[in-house]
Amino acid sequence: MPTIHLKTEIPGPNSRALVARRETATARGAAKLTPIAVVKAQGAALTDADGNTFLDFAGGIGALAVGHCPPNVVAAIQQQAAEMIHLCAIVGTYEPYVRVAELLNEVTPGDFPKKSVLVNSGSEAVETAVKIARSYTGRPAIIVFENAYHGRTNLTLAMTSKYNLFKKGFGPFAPEVYRLHFPNLYRRPAGLSEDAYIDDCIARLENAFTAYVDPSAVAAIVIEPVQGEGGFLPAPLRFFQRIRELCTQHGIVMVADEIQCGFGRTGRLFASEHYGIAPDVIVTAKSLAAGMPLAAVTGKAEIMDAPHPGGLGGTYSGNPLACVAAVEAITMLRSPEFLARARQVGDRIRSHLISLQEEFPIIGDVRGLGSMVLMELVSDPHSKAPATNETQAITQAAFKRGLIAIRAGLYSNCIRFLPPLNITDEQIDEGMAVLHEAMLEVAAVPV
C-alpha cells in the first residue's frame, strides 16, 4: 500500500487554521518549509491535521536518521520522564548523561583517550568547539570554508556562508574568522581536470597561511567532511588529508563538523571514517538523539580538558530525556545492519536520480556520499547557471503530491534527500515517482 494518502486540498482547512495562528503568534524570521500542521509522525510518514499522509524526505533536516518515533526511543523517554525530567548536569550527575558521553568517546574516530561535553544545539556545539580550541592553543583565529553552514549564533554566523539567507542584517559578526575556498568539483573552472583543480585548492589553502593569517595564530580549522546546507559537497580526499597534515604540523586543532553528515548519514557512523582520518575534535547534533535537542563535542582528552571548570555547560545541556533518546539512537545507528541499510538507501536514491538526470537536462549534477544524496539543477548545462526558481517550483509540485523535500546549496538550486534511514524500498520508489511527476510538470521542456 502506498504511504501517501491525500484526503483534502493541500493545505487543508485545519492546517491553514493552525498555520495562521502560528503566523500571528511567531516572528516571521522563523521560516516554515510547508503550510501544513503535523499531528503525527511514524517512520518516514507524516500525518497532518486534516488526515493527509505525506512521505518525509526532509527528516527533520537530517535529525531523524532512526525515523520518526522509534518505539525503543519513545519507551526510553517515557520511562525517564516518569523518573526525572530535569536536574541540570551542573547540579548533579545522572547515569544517562554519563552513558551518552561514554558512547560518544567510544564510537568517534581516533585511537586516543577522548572526552565529551554535551550541549543543546549544533550552533552551541560548534561555538563550544571553538572555545575549547582557543583555550587549548591560546590562539584566536578560526579557519572555515566557503559554502559552510555552522549555525545561527553570532560566532557561528561569522563562520557560516550564504550571506543573504542567514546573515543579512545581523552584523557585525565575531572577528578572527578566515574563510577559504572549498573544492566544488562540479563547478571547477572549465578545462581543469579534477586532480589539477584539487592541487589548486590545496595550493590556495597553503597560501592562506601567508596571505591571510599566520598558522601560529590559528586555533582551529573547522570543516564539514561533507557540506550539508552548502550542497552535499564531499571534501576531496587529498584536500581533507592536507588539512590534517597542516593541523598536525602547526599545532592547530582539526574540528570536523559532523552535525548533518554524521551518525550514519553517509553509510558509516561518521563521514570522517571514509577518509581514514581522525579529527582532533568532532561536533555532533541532529540525529545524535533521534530528534531530541542534544548536541556534543567529542575530542582528544587533553584538548577537551583545556577550559577551566565552569567554562562549559548550560542549564539544559545533557537533559535526561534527550540523553536516554541518544543512548537508544546511538545503539541503533552503530549496528552493522543499520549502516548497511543506510548504504542501500543511498544507492537506491542515487539510482533514481541518475535515471532522472538522463531524462531531464536541468539536472546538472547528482552527488553526495552514502545516503546523503543531492541533485543540483541548472538552467544551462554549459554555464551551469543555477535554476533557483525551477528548484523551488519542483519542491512545491512534489509537496502538492504528498512528498516533502527541501532545497540546499549556495544558490538554493539543489534538492537534498535526508529521509529517515529506516525508510522502505517501496517508500523510496513512491517518493521518487512523485518527484518524477513534479519534474514533468516544471521541467519537461529541455534545457
- Same domain for 202 and 351, yes or no, is no
Q: What is the CATH number of the domain that holds 213?
A: 3.40.640.10
Helical ranges in 386-424 per DSSP H: 388-400
Q: How many structural domains are present in the chain?
A: 2
Residue 366 domain flag: yes
- Same domain for 85 and 61, yes or no, is no
Residues 313-363: tens digit of each pLDDT: 999 999 999 999 999 999 999 999 999 999 999 999 999 999 999 999 999
**Arithmetic mean of pLDDT, 405-433:** 97
420 preceded by a cis bond (ω within 30 of 0): no
Q: Any idea which residue has 545522572 for its cell?
A: 94
Residue 97 domain flag: yes
Angle subtended at Cα 297 by Cα 238 and Cα 272, rounded to the nearest 5 degrees: 25
Give the 3-state secondary structure of 283-338: EECHHHHCCCCCEEEEEEHHHHCCCCCCCCCCCCCCCHHHHHHHHHHHHHHCCHHH
Closest to 4 (Cα-Cα) out of 356, 441, 432, 420: 432
Question: Is the CB of residue 55 less than 8 Å from the CB of residue 403?
Answer: yes
pLDDT of residue 446 exceeding 70, the answer is no
Residue 259 domain flag: yes
Residue 400 domain flag: yes
Element housing 254 (H / E): strand 253-257
- Same domain for 237 and 300, yes or no, is yes
Cell, residue 261: 553528515
Domain boundary among 309, 333, 357: 333
Residues 418-428: tens digit of each pLDDT: 999 999 999 99
By CB neighbour count within 10 A (0-12 exposed, 13-18 middle, 19+ buried), where does 240 fall?
Answer: buried
Residue 266 domain flag: yes
Residue 413 domain flag: yes
- Same domain for 48 and 23, yes or no, is yes
Cell, residue 71: 518505539
Closest to 311 (Cα-Cα) out of 100, 117, 152: 117
Residues 136-162: tens digit of each pLDDT: 999 999 999 999 999 999 999 999 998
Mean pLDDT computed over every residue of the chain? 97
Residues 28-86: tens digit of each pLDDT: 999 899 999 999 999 999 999 999 999 999 999 999 999 999 999 999 999 999 999 99
Q: What is the pLDDT of residue 165?
A: 87
- Same domain for 272 and 288, yes or no, is yes
Cell, residue 440: 514533468
**Arithmetic mean of pLDDT, 172-188:** 97
Residues 120-135: tens digit of each pLDDT: 999 999 999 999 999 9
- Same domain for 90 and 192, yes or no, is yes
Residues 198-222: tens digit of each pLDDT: 999 999 999 999 999 999 999 999 9
**Arithmetic mean of pLDDT, 259-279:** 97
Contacting residues for 280 by C-beta, under 8 A, at least 6 apart: 247, 253, 254, 255, 299, 300, 303
Domain boundary among 271, 305, 333: 333
- Same domain for 246 and 127, yes or no, is yes
- Same domain for 26 and 124, yes or no, is no
Q: Classify 37 as helix, strand or coil.
A: coil
Q: What is the CATH number of the domain that holds 36?
A: 3.90.1150.10
- Same domain for 94 and 143, yes or no, is yes
Residue 4 domain flag: no
- Same domain for 312 and 405, yes or no, is no
Q: What is the pLDDT of residue 135?
A: 98
Domain boundary among 302, 333, 364: 333
Q: Domain residues for 33?
A: 13-70+336-443
CA–CA separation, 417 and 180 (whole Å)? 27
- Same domain for 175 and 314, yes or no, is yes
Residue 217 domain flag: yes
- Same domain for 291 and 324, yes or no, is yes
pLDDT of residue 437 exceeding 90, the answer is yes
